[in-house]
DNA sequence: TCCGCACCCTGTGTATACAATGAACAGAAT
DNA sequence: ATTCTGTTCATTGTATACACAGGGTGCGGA
């Protein structure tokens, strides 16, 4: 594995997990020393993170981990809606119907008890996303979705997981998978719309609850 | 200006203009020498081009200018539809209404006679796109659109410009601008849909006409 | 003549050295 | 005392040198 890949993977993980908080300054020599690589591959890693939008060049001299506020979340979900509704429609038209029927089954079966439940949930979502990408067969769309999902990891961390919401989310995904399996493009798109609306509402409520200072602006 | 920026700008221009044809192998030492920079900034430029999707690592050893075939064009327009319909809707809701009314006026006035006409047309489109981005105020969406537009430059080069199509395209844009100005989100989105459908049809017809070999697959 | 192995060569990945630029601090002058 | 300017230091931008890997070619043996 290349040093630049390791540096990118490590930084990505630490930004997504919050170990590198928004606003953290990423000096080249400092990070290179910390990650045990030289400046050259580290610069490449920073460049890729900047392309992803996870770090920004605050001034021409200092790169920082990008911030994520409520407006960012709204913006991200606007893009996400556009992409996922389109993906759902396309998958319904040309997707692998049996695969989505099987996914719908899995969503129906999944019991989300305990802490393992959350892991199983995210694993199932990941499988669903992968099947969606494969069924759509559009690299441009997949690439755009990849960026959205990269940012989404951090957004999810901001919002506390609510067990009831998790269960509802599974049901929503089950409906989407069923709609795609039955080649009902409108239903797939509208169910995706509903799902993203609910997900955003939950996230915003959770964020507002934990950061009420910004509300009375 | 940084050497890496110059290298990126030069390579971008040469790829978009076709001076570097799809499939061209971009060796680091070779390109570095050609552009008068050292390998380090050139690598950064190649990295950014790879992130844009304009070059791909064909093998771990050789990066080439990415190819663009008919399926790519279709895929690109699927993404473009998703993004621009969303942008049109959002601009209709929260956009600068007078600005779009003024743009609609300009589209109405624009006479596309002669070779200057095409330049004026593209300049007007660029102004429209800029106003759209500003009105939507969504960096994620704008960033995704930027990628699409980057690829679109190459696609346009593949298709011959047809004068009648240019005139129709102006009229379509005028309608979109009017719809946004009048805050008619549905009309803005549907007019965008129509416009992109027509644009894609024209491009595909032009490409099929010049490359009829791939048709009887 | 064909197949296989080894060596060389080309090109990338990484490290480090050097140059340039921007910022911060201190000192002096108004 | 405050502001402006100069100098210095830190940090990035660029160049180059070195290491390594992969492929191609040539030679030898079957």
Radius of gyration (C-alpha) of chain B in whole angstroms: 19
**Mean pLDDT along residues B172-177:** 98
A82 in contact with B, Cβ within 8 Å: yes
A164 in contact with B, Cβ within 8 Å: no
- Say whether pLDDT at B158 is over 70: yes
| Residue A217 pLDDT | 45
Q: How confident is the model at residue B217 (pLDDT cuts 50, 70, 90)?
A: very low
CA B146, CA B124: separation in Å to the nearest integer? 17
B139 in contact with A, Cβ within 8 Å: yes
Residue corresponding to tokens 């040469």: B14
* Contact check, Cβ <8 Å, A78/B86: yes
Residue (of B116, B91, B121) closest to B106 by Cα position: B121
**Mean pLDDT along residues B141-158:** 97
| Residue A60 pLDDT | 87
CA A156, CA B68: separation in Å to the nearest integer? 36
Which is it for strands A62-65 and A55-59: parallel, antiparallel or unpaired? Answer: antiparallel
Cα–Cα–Cα angle for A125, A126, A131, rounded to 5 degrees: 95
| Residue B46 pLDDT | 97
* Token pair recorded at residue A64: 């920082």
CA B140, CA B97: separation in Å to the nearest integer? 22
**Mean pLDDT along residues A13-20:** 97
* Token pair recorded at residue A206: 């959770």
CA B71, CA B75: separation in Å to the nearest integer? 6
Q: For residue range B14-23, what is the model confidence (pLDDT) as tens digits?
A: 999 999 999 9
- Say whether pLDDT at A35 is over 90: yes
Q: Name the percent of chain B lying above pLDDT 90.
A: 82
**Mean pLDDT along residues B203-208:** 91
Task: Write out the E strands in chain B.
Answer: 55-59, 62-65
CA B96, CA B100: separation in Å to the nearest integer? 7
| Residue B213 pLDDT | 64
Nearest-CA residue relative to C1' of D16:
B38
- The pTM of the full predicted model, rounded to 2 decimals, is 0.93
**Mean pLDDT along residues A68-88:** 97
| Residue B41 pLDDT | 97
* Token pair recorded at residue A26: 């990423």
DSSP B138: -
| Residue A22 pLDDT | 96
Q: At what angle do helices A39-52 and A139-158 cross, to 10 degrees?
A: 90
- How high is the mean pLDDT of chain A? 93
CA B94, CA B136: separation in Å to the nearest integer? 7
Q: How confident is the model at residue A209 (pLDDT cuts 50, 70, 90)?
A: confident
| Residue B110 pLDDT | 78
- Say whether pLDDT at B214 is over 70: no
| Residue B162 pLDDT | 85
Q: For residue range B79-91, what is the model confidence (pLDDT) as tens digits?
A: 999 999 999 999 9
Q: For residue range A47-62, what is the model confidence (pLDDT) as tens digits?
A: 999 999 999 999 988 9
User: Near strand D (CB < 7 A), which residues?
Assistant: A 27-29, 39-40, 43, 60-63; B 2-5, 37-41, 44, 59-61
Residue corresponding to tokens 């129509």: B194
Q: In 3-state terms, what secondary structure has residue B108?
A: helix
Q: In 3-state terms, what secondary structure has residue A57?
A: strand
DSSP B57: E
**Chain B neighbors of A44, CB-CB under 8 A:** 43-44, 47
């Amino acid at each position: 594995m290349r040093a630049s890949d390791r540096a990118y993977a490590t930084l990505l993980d630490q930004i997504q997990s919050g170990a590198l908080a928004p606003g953290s300054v990423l000096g080249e020599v400092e990070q290179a020393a910390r990650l045990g690589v030289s400046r050259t591959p580290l610069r490449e890693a920073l460049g890729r993170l900047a392309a992803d939008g996870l770090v920004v060049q605050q001034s021409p001299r200092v790169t920082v981990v990008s911030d994520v506020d409520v407006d960012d979340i709204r913006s991200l979900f606007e893009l996400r809606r556009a992409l996922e509704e389109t993906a759902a429609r396309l998958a319904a038209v040309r997707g692998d119907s049996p695969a989505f029927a099987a996914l719908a089954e899995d969503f129906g079966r999944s019991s989300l008890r305990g802490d393992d439940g959350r892991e199983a949930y995210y694993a199932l979502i990941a499988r669903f996303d992968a099947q969606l990408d494969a069924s759509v067969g559009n690299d441009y769309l997949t690439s755009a979705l990849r960026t959205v999902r990269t940012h989404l990891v951090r957004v999810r961390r901001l919002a506390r997981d609510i067990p009831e919401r998790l269960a509802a989310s599974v049901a929503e995904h089950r409906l989407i998978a069923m709609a795609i399996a039955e080649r009902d493009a409108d239903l797939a798109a509208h169910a995706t719309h509903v799902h993203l609306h609910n997900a955003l509402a939950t996230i915003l409520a959770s964020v507002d609850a934990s950061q009420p200072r910004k509300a009375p602006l």
